[in-house]
């Protein structure tokens, strides 16, 4: 952080903070980086550490379907909303990250979902429906491609 009337205690061009929670732009060019998106990135990594109980964060952006996915640590919990939030917050490009106000709103939304069975159920069905809609065109495309290679002649 920069305070105009205080003498800095951190040497110029030095990054400070836990490496596993530090935004990439703070590692590369801390002096020219926007601290707000960097804080969102760091908050997301810190939230992941808190939720998983792991002592260190993960490298790079969050990928829900990888070994760092929350489902691996919280198998009984509804995590999709958090998965999307962590993915958004750890985007490499700081401009692509949500504001901290949006993060708070989305965390509140997740808390409502996990506390309300009906809302959780509706969200899970919505996700299932969306996945099916994405899968069906892919299956149709694969079937059509396979059908092009079939000889339907009677000879």
pLDDT 10s digits, 100-145: 999 999 999 999 999 999 999 999 999 888 888 887 876 656 655 5
Nearest to 41 by CA among 79, 98, 1: 98
Residues of the chain with pLDDT under 50: none
The hierarchical CATH code for the domain 1-115 is 1.10.510.10
pTM of this structure: 0.75
Q: Specify the pLDDT at position 155.
A: 56
């Amino acid at each position: 952080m920069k305070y105009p009337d205080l003498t800095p205690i951190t040497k110029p061009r030095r990054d400070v903070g836990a490496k596993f929670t530090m935004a990439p732009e703070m590692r590369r060019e801390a002096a020219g980086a926007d601290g707000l998106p960097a804080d969102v990135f760091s908050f997301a990594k810190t939230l992941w550490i808190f939720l998983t109980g792991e002592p260190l964060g993960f490298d790079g952006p969050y990928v829900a379907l990888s070994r760092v996915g929350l489902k691996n640590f919280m198998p009984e919990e509804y995590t999709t909303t958090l998965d999307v939030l962590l993915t958004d917050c750890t985007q490499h490009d700081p401009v692509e990250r949500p504001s901290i106000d949006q993060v708070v709103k989305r965390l509140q939304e997740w808390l409502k979902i996990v506390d309300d069975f009906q809302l959780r159920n509706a969200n899970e069905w919505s996700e299932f429906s969306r996945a099916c809609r994405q899968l069906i065109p892919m299956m149709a495309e694969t079937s059509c491609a396979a059908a092009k290679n079939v000889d339907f002649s009677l000879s």
